A and B are shown apart, each in its own frame.
Chain A
Amino acid sequence: LFPLQFSSAMSASFYTKPANNGNAGVAMETSWDSNPGRQRTLQPITTGASVLAIKYNAGVIMVADTLGSYGSLAKFRSIPRVLRVNDATVAAASGDLADMQFLNTVVENHAIDEEIHEHGIAYSPASLHSWLTRVMYNRRSRINPLWNTYIVAGTEAGQPFLGYVNMLGVAFKEDCLATGFGSHLCLGLLREALDAAGGYAGLTEETATSALEACLRVLYYRDCRAYNQYQLANVPVAKPAQVSGPHFLQSDWSVAKLVKHYTE
């Protein structure tokens, strides 16, 4: 009976649960022979809809509604999808919410790890984006993906940062980003806002916020899986990240009366 446990002696990470196999806490290997009950992800079950984000002259803003859809059933109406990682980084996900909650736990545990070591190094949005890309790509390469699209936002080296990673491991950085339906219905609107301001350096916080709100409204009108209650994350370059919510979206459905056969 030996009480010696030096498995994590070399690495500084304690939060490597639930998969304590050194792969940064994310289950990579699945041994089909020894684990016949284990299956691959075939479809997302409880899902989150779009995430939208845009840079402005002094930071980044990101929004995501608080709905967890169970297929076409609007089942969970108060699911937070925006995660504050640290003062300089926030992340939000669309897609399977169980996978999102799992990954968010791992990220949060890494963040706690860094806090208690107090060596002054914290997850920067770029390093989180990079780490997420590796995790998502590795899972897709094992045909067992985490069915999510993540947007990472924050302050990197004094500049606003915005990055996208999806379940295939496709990753890129841009001045405005959207996932899911948002990428079809709203990305154009966000790009127009940026063009009108001559780039994000010309965009004020108010204009950026109202642009995102307008996009959320469009989504609520047109996306059957969207919702009118949302969270907002603002990461100013010079100040700590703030996640606020739930905010409520005002919408006007009076046009419904013009629809033939519509009865109140």
Chain B
Amino acid sequence: MSSIGTGYDLDVSEYSPEGKLFQVEYAHKAVESSGTAVGICCRDGVVLAVENIVTSKLYETNCNRRVFHIDRHIGMAASGLLPDARAVARHAREEAADYRQSHGEPMPLSELASRVSNLMHAYTMYSAVRPFGCGVLLAAFENGRPQLYGVEPSGVYYSYHGYAIGKAKQNARTEIEKLKLAELSAANGVKEAAKIIYSCHDEVKDKYFELDLSLTSAETAGRHVIVTGEQWTEASNYAKAALEEHDSDDDV
């Protein structure tokens, strides 16, 4: 399944004879072994959700969120190494701040995605640094249009209607494809995203996880808002109920 890159995987600046950059591929593996992050463009907003796997019950809840604010109007969800994700968030925040300062208006998401991609790509070109071990989903609701970009450790990025990265990305993407995004309201999207996270969560391998949810929509006036309180509980309960229903379907 995985080709061993012996000898060609010590520097990210070294190609293998097959034309692979093994360090970048290993960075992808860091993302793939981390909790799933999901982004969904709904009719009137964008939802981000992350399966924030918690390794110890001793941690305070929400102490290590995997959803970040990048300026007021852009949200970022991350899968992979959290410190790397924080570094990406910090750079993104600087870019957004700089843009706001110079242009007198909030940074368009397409521009920010390009800058984040440039950054992550830059770290794949020099032997003195290593690639970022995280993938990020960037979301905004601009001029009435929901937007979602996904940037991977190689620096490649696309604009998506819906996307997932992390351990259960295949299952999650399949679930997203089943949704009718053009008709889905952001408020319902929050619940659907929670449901996808719960359904893709592997109970056996990772017992305990926190659901990080965020929303940028017409209702929030384009502001990126971390979902907490009643709305979070509602989404979480919806997801758990759907899971039980699914489980009971299996008992035939």
Which residue numbers of A lie inside 8 Å of B, CB to CB?
Answer: 2-5, 8-9, 14-15, 17-18, 105, 109, 112-113, 115-118
Question: Taking the complex as formed, is B54 at the interface, i.e. its CB lies under 8 A from any CB of chain A?
Answer: no
Residue of B nearest to A16 (CB): B97
B223's nearest neighbour on chain A, judged by CB, is A115
Majority-rule SS of B interface residues: helix
B72 within 8 A of A: yes
Q: Would you give the 0/1 interface string for B86-110, flagging 1 where the beta carbon is closer than 8 Å to chain A?
A: 0000110110111011100000000
- B53: interface (CB < 8 Å): no
Q: Which residues of B contact A (CB under 8 A)?
A: 68-72, 90-91, 93-94, 96-98, 100-102, 119, 122-123, 126, 128-129, 226
Residue from the list B68, B69, B97, B122 in contact with A15, Cβ < 8 A: B97
Q: Is the CB of B69 within 8 A of A109?
A: no
Q: Is the CB of A118 within 8 A of B226?
A: yes
Knowing A115-B72, A116-B72, A118-B69 are in contact, say whether A3-B123 is a contact too (CB < 8 A): yes
Min Cβ gap A9→B in Å is 8
Least CB distance, B216 to chain A, in whole angstroms: 13
B98 contacts A17, C-beta separation under 8 Å: yes
In the bound assembly, the distance between CA atoms of A179 and B223 in angstroms comes to: 36
Distance A15 CA – B94 CA, assembled complex (angstroms): 7
The smallest C-beta distance from A102 to any residue of chain B, in angstroms, reads 11
- List, in ascending order, chain B residues with CB within 8 A of A113's CB: 97
- Which of B91, B97, B101 is close to A5, meaning CB atoms less than 8 Å apart? B91
**Which listed residue, B69, B98, B119, B122, touches A116 by the CB 8 Å rule?**
B69
Interchain nearest-CB distance for B38 vs A (Å): 21
User: Which B residue sits closest to A4, measured CB to CB?
Assistant: B129
CB distance from A146 to the nearest CB of B (A): 18
Q: What chain B residues lie within 8 Å of A3 (beta carbons)? A: 119, 122-123
Known: A3-B122, A3-B123, A4-B129. A116 touches B101 (CB 8 A): no
- Are A18 and B119 within 8 A (Cβ)? no
Instruction: Report yes or no: A109 in contact with B97, Cβ–Cβ below 8 A.
Output: yes
The answer to whether A14 touches B97 (Cβ under 8 A) is yes
Tell me the nearest residue of chain B to A112, going by C-beta.
B72
Q: Residue on B with the closest CB to A106?
A: B101
CA distance A3 to B200 in the complex (A): 37
In the A-B complex, list the 3 residue pairs whose CB atoms are closest, starting with the nearest: A116-B69, A3-B122, A14-B97
- A14-B94 in contact (CB<8A): yes
5 A-B pairs whose Cβ atoms sit less than 8 Å apart in the complex: A8-B94, A14-B96, A14-B97, A116-B72, A117-B69
**Cβ-defined partner of B101 (8 Å) among A4, A9, A17, A118:** A17
Whole-angstrom distance between the alpha carbons of A116 and B93 in the complex?
9
Say whether, besides A4-B129, A118-B226, A15 and B72 are in contact (CB < 8 Å): no
A5 to B123, CA, bound (A): 12
Q: How far is the CB of A262 from chain B (nearest CB, A)?
A: 46
Residues of B within 8 A of A15 (CB): 97, 101
Query: CB-nearest residue of chain B relative to A7?
Result: B94
Residue from B72, B101, B126 whose CB has the most chain A CB atoms within 10 Å? B101
**B101 cross-chain contacts in A, Cβ below 8 A:** 15, 17-18, 105, 109
Docked CA distance A165–B126 (Å) = 51
Having A8-B90, A116-B70, one finds 4 other A-B pairs with CB under 8 Å, namely: A2-B128, A5-B91, A17-B102, A117-B69
Bound CA span A144–B102, Å: 24
Complex contacts, A9 vs chain B, CB 8 Å: 90
Which of A5, A14, A113: most chain B CB closer than 10 A?
A14
B93 touches A14 (CB 8 A): yes
Q: Which residues of A contact B128 (CB under 8 A)?
A: 2
B112 to chain A, nearest CB (A): 13
Residues of chain B with a CB closer than 8 A to A105's CB: 101
- Most interface-central of B71, B90, B94, B96 (chain A CB within 10 A): B94
What residue of chain B has the Cβ atom nearest to residue A115's Cβ? B72
Q: Nearest Cβ distance between residue B59 and chain A, in whole angstroms?
A: 17
CB distance from B88 to the nearest CB of A (A): 13
Q: In the complex, which residue of chain A has the Cβ closest to the Cβ of B121?
A: A3
CA distance A109 to B93 in the complex (A): 12
Measured between alpha carbons, how far is A113 from B126 in the docked complex, in Å? 31
Residue of A nearest to B102 (CB): A17
Chain A min CB distance to B64 (Å): 13
Docked Cα-Cα span, A109 to B94, in Å, equals 11
CA distance A112 to B102 in the complex (A): 15
User: In the bound complex, how far is the Cα of B104 from the Cα of A18, in angstroms?
Assistant: 12
Q: How far is the CB of A121 from chain B (nearest CB, A)?
A: 15
The answer to whether B97 touches A17 (Cβ under 8 A) is: yes
